[in-house]
Amino acid sequence: MNTDSEEEMDQEFVEQAIRDDMEFDELVLATVRTAVYYHNNFLIKEQCRNSPHTGSMFIMEILKGNDRRCHEQFRMEKHVFIKLCNRLRSYGLTSTKGVGLEEAIGMFLMTLGHGVRNRIIQEQFQHSGETVSRQFGIVLKKMILLAFDEIRPPEEYNEVPHYIRSNDKYWP
């Protein structure tokens, strides 16, 4: 009797080992499928912005071309664009590894002047959406600093007129 019981236990042990092996194989297969899916969808990237016409080439083409093109693209004349670039440079705006100063300002001006979306600027300048957004924010911060220094009311408005100062209606 003892041997039958041992054989049954051995048989159960073998069957359990086979089930465990099959579960492990299924787990490995699911892990491999997940790894392959992740690799194919997130690690292998197809370059999207691969036109030979870069943003810096576009800026140079505009600045070396007809004066009218600069006004059409950036809503200002060439000499004003160049002066703005130099002025923002004095406020600390610099070129980065992938985007020149003039290119960043051009992206900023085209976005504002034409009201175009980020994707249009991405295609025109051959940069990612993140780069376009980041450069827009950087130029905007420098433009705000410039505005604080340059935009002031006329001197006649530096002092509050007497009729406003003396009237309780205008006080908080």
Number of domains in the chain: 2
Q: Summarize pLDDT for 12-62 with one digit per residue, the tens.
A: 888 888 888 899 999 999 999 999 998 888 777 777 777 788 999 999 999
64 and 126 together in one domain: yes
Q: What is the dihedral of CA 66, 67, 69, 72, to 10 degrees?
A: -160
Q: Summarize pLDDT for 61-93 with one digit per residue, the tens.
A: 999 999 999 999 999 999 999 999 999 999 999
Measured distance CA(51)–CA(124) in Å, rounded: 9
89 and 63 together in one domain: yes
Q: Are 109 and 137 in contact (CB under 8 A)?
A: no
20 and 81 together in one domain: no
What pLDDT sits at residue 42?
79
- The parent domain of residue 22 ranges over 12-43
pTM: 0.67
Mean pLDDT score, 116-132: 94
35 and 64 together in one domain: no
66 and 25 together in one domain: no
pLDDT above 80 (res 8): no
Measured distance CA(107)–CA(124) in Å, rounded: 9
Q: Are 105 and 84 in contact (CB under 8 A)?
A: yes
